Structure 1
Amino acid sequence: MRIEAPALEIEAVSHAFGRRVALDDVSLTVPAGCFTALLGPNGAGKTTLFSIATRLYNNRSGAVRIYGHDIRRTPSRALAELGAVFQSRTLDGDLSVRENLAYHAALHGLSGRAVRARIEALLERVGLGERIGDKVRTLSGGQARRIEIARALVHRPRLLLLDEPTVGLDLASRTALIAFVRELVRSEGVAVLWASHIFDEVEPEDAVTVLHQGRVVASGTAALIGAGDASLQAAFRRLTAAPAKEEA
């Protein structure tokens, strides 16, 4: 029986900005159809890692593979499987919701009636079908985040990367957003890498990688990482209080 490749494999990736090392020999795996959390304090290297995985930055060392496709050797095939939502807002506020999603579809070579139907279906799925003609600048922060996720799904990727997606959202919007993403994993088999520093967004059975000062300092399920401490949060504090070279 054929074994499906992991949704994302990052292998021995390092990256520096001048003399500052942002990532140091980082490796992690996101299994297909699973929710994986990437935890780290500000400045840990999470956004840099996402930038490499989405090819905004070129990885000069190591390898990044999306469903077995190396992003340097076959970038088009790799990125076709990937949807991403970055921490900073990337929607065009002067365009309508429909126009933002249609533009993204066009970048992937998609157009026509089927894409229009896909956009309408995704907006209904995130509960914003009635806002399809509205300018993005009229949306709340939580609504804009849901639109960004809908946009990331337009081309039917099998892997979704979300970098601190709940930053700035109120509790109700944050809870609804993570519930929606988890439902995508359960119902559609979308693999998710969820970067955050908010511990109640992580469930005990989730796979977790802890990143600190550009290095992986722990990897395993949330329950396993937190087993030797009072909680995952306590384990995180211990792991990120010590220099990264003193890996636990």
Structure 2
Amino acid sequence: MSHVLPLQAQSLSKAYQGHVALRELSLSLAAGERVALLGPNGAGKSTLMQLLTGLFAPDSGSIHIMGHDLRTAAPRALAHLGVVFQQPALDLDLSVQANLHFHTDLHGMPRAVANPRIHEGLERQGLLEHLHRPCRALSGGNRRKIELVRALLHRPAVLLMDEATVGLDPASRVQLLQAVHALQKEQGVATLWATHLVEEVEQADRVVVLHKGLMRHEGRVADLLQDTQKTSVQAAFMSLTRS
């Protein structure tokens, strides 16, 4: 299994009521790789995330997570997937521990395994002191970090970050980026980071620019600048998504 790519999506297309949201999109992630998915609102980023998480099925194309076909072996495929959604997904009235236990219980993880992972994850983010506090008492940035800890408790091979920094202040955004970067290095998690903020893509291994359901560019940041003959990611992004 060592040569199996964590994520491989081929020729994905999806339309809603005649509107094409994605057209023939292919994308793969290698272990430990961070790929930034950059696109304006309506580009198809959310549709791609919905397909990759199994929320919707593509009209055509295939998705494999650690070699498992999402269409025919969804439980096995999704067991290797961690997600931090755009919309906050914590029960604010429950404690941090209760939120995390809910996740580990869903994955059938015994407490003897879950509790050390919860402690380790929170300690890594400097949040262990908040274990028994209700999530409502935490800042927006710390809630996001809790969601990141939760997404990684079952040791996924692929992490999807779906506009995960929306609503965060700049310092919290930087902290979340750094936390994910450190995890990639240490655990080899392949990460797909969807965003419309160009400053979040500059440290990515590859950048995919999506516009109107089409992949407009894929490659390193340096390739993006060279191919568009621009001196900044912002200018390159604007030139690819102007029409």
Distance in 2, Cα, partners of 1:60 & 1:70: 15
Contact preservation (8 Å) 2:38, 2:201: no
Shift of 1:51: 0.9
Over residues 70-99 of structure 1, what are the superposed CA-to-partner deviations in whole Å (9 max), with x where a residue is unaligned?
A: 111111111111100111111111111111
In the alignment, residue 55 of structure 1 is paired with which amino acid? G
Residue 117 of structure 1 is matched in structure 2 by 116
Residue 96 of structure 1 is matched in structure 2 by 95
1:169 paired with 2:168, answer yes
Q: Tell me the SS of whatever aligns to 1:173.
A: helix
Shift of 1:202: 2.0
Residue 83 of structure 2 is matched in structure 1 by 84
Residue 61 of structure 2 is matched in structure 1 by 62
Residue 239 of structure 1 is matched in structure 2 by 240
Distance in 1, Cα, partners of 2:68 & 2:9: 12
Distance in 1, Cα, partners of 2:204 & 2:79: 29
Distance in 1, Cα, partners of 2:107 & 2:236: 41
Identity %: 47
Residue 8 of structure 2 is matched in structure 1 by 9
Contact preservation (8 Å) 1:120, 1:129: yes
In the alignment, residue 207 of structure 1 is paired with which amino acid? R
Q: Tell me the SS of whatever aligns to 2:208.
A: strand
Shift of 1:205: 6.0
In the alignment, residue 184 of structure 1 is paired with which amino acid? L
Distance in 2, Cα, partners of 1:107 & 1:215: 35
Between the two proteins, the alignment pairs up a number of residues equal to 241
Shift of 1:167: 1.3
**Any gaps of 5 or more consecutive residues in structure 2?**
none
Distance in 1, Cα, partners of 2:161 & 2:3: 22
In the alignment, residue 241 of structure 1 is paired with which amino acid? R
**Any gaps of 5 or more consecutive residues in structure 1?**
243-248
| Superposed CA RMSD | 1.3
Over residues 20-47 of structure 1, what are the superposed CA-to-partner deviations in whole Å (9 max), with x where a residue is unaligned?
A: 2211111111112111110000111111
Residue 29 of structure 1 is matched in structure 2 by 28
Distance in 2, Cα, partners of 1:68 & 1:209: 22
Residue 74 of structure 1 is matched in structure 2 by 73
Q: Tell me the SS of whatever aligns to 1:73.
A: coil
In the alignment, residue 112 of structure 1 is paired with which amino acid? R
Contact preservation (8 Å) 1:160, 1:190: yes
Distance in 1, Cα, partners of 2:225 & 2:119: 42
Distance in 2, Cα, partners of 1:68 & 1:33: 16
Residue 212 of structure 1 is matched in structure 2 by 211
Distance in 2, Cα, partners of 1:236 & 1:21: 21
Contact preservation (8 Å) 1:205, 1:223: no
Q: Tell me the SS of whatever aligns to 1:241.
A: coil
Shift of 1:59: 2.1
Contact preservation (8 Å) 1:81, 1:158: yes
1:181 paired with 2:183, answer no
Distance in 2, Cα, partners of 1:129 & 1:67: 31
Over residues 128-171 of structure 1, what are the superposed CA-to-partner deviations in whole Å (9 max), with x where a residue is unaligned?
A: 10111111111111001000000001111111000111111111
Q: Tell me the SS of whatever aligns to 2:241.
A: helix
